[in-house]
């Protein structure tokens, strides 16, 4: 697929929200967050509304900047961002030991970039679970274009209450998605339930690291910027994710913050000091162009009112992510591989 252009960005902006309601949706979204006086409990209680508003507003920007896969990657020198994103996806398939014909679940699948890549890479059938209607509509179109619509499908549902019978899948993965769950234990318990006994769940989690000091005002500011810029109710510590996995019944086979061993920083594409032609739209200069383009499109009425405000909170996210990465207090790639035991303990 070729990269979407400015008009695609404007047309998709707001997702399933009526164009005239985009500005009020932005205002409601912002009010959930610390910068606008919002509280964690309220974000957790209203996570479906908060997260869906975020993805209705942000998806066309994501597609414009990132392409079809909405996640970061462990980076090697000499690799383009696109290559490292695919390698990051292949790594999950390898860790899960996927075999041709297996039934796999992608939890929080976005518009299905990873799903299409993993399914073709491993010859598996992947079901994408997502609670955002607009992303599913886009994902179905892209599956058709990629020719994987017979082997892969999408299900619209909340990953806290999955509509699948117990023991349905041979493997489950989640890429930078379960961080939206109001409670990790609730989400991992659902994954545990739908996974067949003896099979594995692998994920890249967004987490605060052990270097995060909850009393440090700068750390709090960075965390709040990432939360508003990325539609998160709260960002958990790596240890809290491991505890939640064990409480849900999983055996953790191994876990590691892959950011720590990444030869190039994962946040490089967003770093103001970095420039790249191949990921130009994500660079500070590219974002500056996008901002002015969105401003003009909104002014002449092609993009809905409120579009520039979305660009603003996404800019906040970029700044928070780079600062969090540089200070090593935040990671988008806390990796774990966990198994549902063959025989459950009583
Ligand atoms: C950062 S995107 C990552 C998408 C995809 N994994 C990728 O890497 O391209 C997070 C995804 O999680 C989905 N999501 C968030 N909360 C959800 C929920 N409660 N149930 C199902 N999906 C959810 C969002 O709609 C979005 O598609």
Encode burial over 171-200: b for 16+ CB neighbours within 10 A, e otherwise.
bbbbbbbbbbbbebbebbbbbbbbbbeebb
Q: Which of 341, 303, 333, 324 is nearest to 64 (CA)?
A: 303
pLDDT of residue 273: 83
Q: Which atom of ligand 1 is nearest to the CA of 69?
A: 9
* Residue with token string 């989690």: 205
Q: In what order do the strands lie in the sheet with 330-339?
A: 153-156, 125-130, 103-107, 169-175, 195-208, 330-339, 251-257
Q: Which atom of ligand 1 is nearest to the CA of 52?
A: 25
Q: To which H or E segment does residue 172 belong?
A: strand 169-175
- Nearest protein Cα to ligand 1, atom 20: 158
The answer to whether the beta carbons of residues 208 and 223 sit under 8 Å apart is yes
Q: Which residues are near ligand 1 (CB < 6 Å)?
A: 51, 55, 69-71, 108-110, 113-114, 129-132, 135, 158-160, 175-177, 180
CA of 299 to the centre of ligand 1 (A): 31
Q: Which atom of ligand 1 is nearest to the CA of 112?
A: 9
Torsions phi, psi for 201 (to 5 deg): -120, 130
Q: CA 35, 39, 42 angle in degrees (round to 5)?
A: 130
**Span 225-239, pLDDT tens digits:** 999 889 999 999 999
The answer to whether the beta carbons of residues 340 and 199 sit under 8 Å apart is yes
The answer to whether the beta carbons of residues 309 and 23 sit under 8 Å apart is yes
pLDDT of residue 30: 92
Q: Which of 10, 137, 114 is nearest to 61 (CA)?
A: 10
pLDDT of residue 185: 98
pLDDT of residue 254: 98
Instruction: For the chain, list residues with pLDDT below 70.
Output: 1-2, 345-346
**Span 107-154, pLDDT tens digits:** 999 999 999 999 999 999 999 999 999 999 999 999 999 999 999 999
Q: Measured between alpha carbons, how far is residue 138 from residues 47, 63, 76, 128, 190 in Å?
A: 22, 10, 30, 12, 26
């Amino acid at each position: 697929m070729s990269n979407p252009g400015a008009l695609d960005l404007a047309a998709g902006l707001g997702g399933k929200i009526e164009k005239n309601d985009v500005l009020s949706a932005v205002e409601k979204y912002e009010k959930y967050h610390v910068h606008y006086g919002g509280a964690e409990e309220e974000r957790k209680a209203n996570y479906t509304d908060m997260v869906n508003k975020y993805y209705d507003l942000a998806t066309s920007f994501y597609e414009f900047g990132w392409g079809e896969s909405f996640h970061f990657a462990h980076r090697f020198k000499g690799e383009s961002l696109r290559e490292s994103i695919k390698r990051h996806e292949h790594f999950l398939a390898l860790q899960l030991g996927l075999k041709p014909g297996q039934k796999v679940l992608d939890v929080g699948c976005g518009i299905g970039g990873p799903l299409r890549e993993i399914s073709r890479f491993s010859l598996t059938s992947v079901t994408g679970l997502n609670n955002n209607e607009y992303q599913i509509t886009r994902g179905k179109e892209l599956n058709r274009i990629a020719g994987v619509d017979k082997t892969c499908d999408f299900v619209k549902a909340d990953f806290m209450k999955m509509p699948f019978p117990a023991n349905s899948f041979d493997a489950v993965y989640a890429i930078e998605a379960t961080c939206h769950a109001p409670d990790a234990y609730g989400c991992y318990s659902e994954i545990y339930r739908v996974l067949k006994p003896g099979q594995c769940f692998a994920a890249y989690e967004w987490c605060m690291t052990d270097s995060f000091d909850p009393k440090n005002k700068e750390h709090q500011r960075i965390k709040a910027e990432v939360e508003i810029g990325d539609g998160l109710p709260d960002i958990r510590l790596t240890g809290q994710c491991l505890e939640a996995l064990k409480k849900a019944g999983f055996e953790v086979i191994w876990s590691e913050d892959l950011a720590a061993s990444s030869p190039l920083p994962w946040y490089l594409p967003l770093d103001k000091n970095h420039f790249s032609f191949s990921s130009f739209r994500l660079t500070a200069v590219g974002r500056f162009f996008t901002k002015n383009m969105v401003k003009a499109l909104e002014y002449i009425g092609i993009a809905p009112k409120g579009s520039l405000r979305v660009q603003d909170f996404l800019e906040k996210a970029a700044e928070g992510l780079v600062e969090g990465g540089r200070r090593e207090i935040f990671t988008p790639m806390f990796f774990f591989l966990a198994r549902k035991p063959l025989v459950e303990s009583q």
